[in-house]
Amino acid sequence: MSNLYHQAKFILGATALSQLPDCSTEVAFAGRSNAGKSTALNTITQQRKLARTSKTPGRTREINCFELDTERYLIDLPGYGYAKVPEAMAKAWQKTLTQYLLERQSLKAVFILMDIRHPLTPHDWSMIEILPESVNLHFVLTKADKLSRSQANKTLMSTAKTLEKHGIEATVQTFSALSKDGLQDVWDTLDDYFKN
């Protein structure tokens, strides 16, 4: 179904849940600022400029909605853990984000993107703790090309083991936007969520 992702189009950047479109299924992408979330979304959709990328962490300041078709959406959530914004604004984002994760009925799964060199930071754990059990979790270890294949596999195994130890039910994979390694795995996982 990769063609489905190629046709993704930006609909709106929402600052409140009331602005979000009605749909039956959506998959949200979350991640620490600078984890490569926007770059990954562009690679997944095969569109170089769909999600705005920036060298400044915390650039995504809205819940960005990308329509695949009238019933299915990809959602790009604001990066967490670092943003050069006033504290009051950061708290307001956090409240909206938490509300979205707990109340959004059409949310099927959350992909948490983490730099493979810095997986499961305290900010990632804070995000994991917010998520309700009804939402499926898929971890994507980005920038896998920064490590050797054996190092990447070692990090993959240790991350999966740590999650299991903490009783977190999730799937984990490595990914590189540069080499496209793991792209098919992302598409396959998305297919599973959008079909069900």
- Is the separation of the CB atoms in 33 and 79 below 8 Å? yes
Tokens 């999966």 identify what position? 160
Angle, CA 156 vertex, CA 155 and CA 159 arms, to 5°: 80
The model's pLDDT over 17-46, given as tens digits with 9 standing for 90+, comes to 999 999 999 999 999 988 999 999 999 999
- Is the separation of the CB atoms in 173 and 140 below 8 Å? yes
Q: Which residues pair with 173 in a beta bridge?
A: 140
What is the domain-level CATH number for residue 59? 3.40.50.300
Residue 84: the pLDDT is: 63
User: Which domain range does residue 44 map to?
Assistant: 2-195
Global pTM reads 0.92
The Cβ-side half-sphere exposure at 141, using a 13 Å CA radius, reads 26
What size, in residues, is the chain? 196
Residue 93: the pLDDT is: 74
The model's pLDDT over 56-94, given as tens digits with 9 standing for 90+, comes to 555 557 899 999 999 999 999 988 875 566 677 777 777
**Element containing residue 40 per DSSP (H, E):** helix 37-45
Number of domains in the chain: 1
What is the pLDDT confidence band of residue 2, given thresholds at 50, 70 and 90?
low
The model's pLDDT over 127-186, given as tens digits with 9 standing for 90+, comes to 999 999 899 999 999 999 999 999 999 999 999 999 999 999 999 999 999 999 999 999
Question: What is the Cα–Cα distance from 128 to 107, expressed in whole angstroms?
Answer: 15
- Is the separation of the CB atoms in 10 and 75 below 8 Å? no
User: 3-class SS at 63?
Assistant: strand
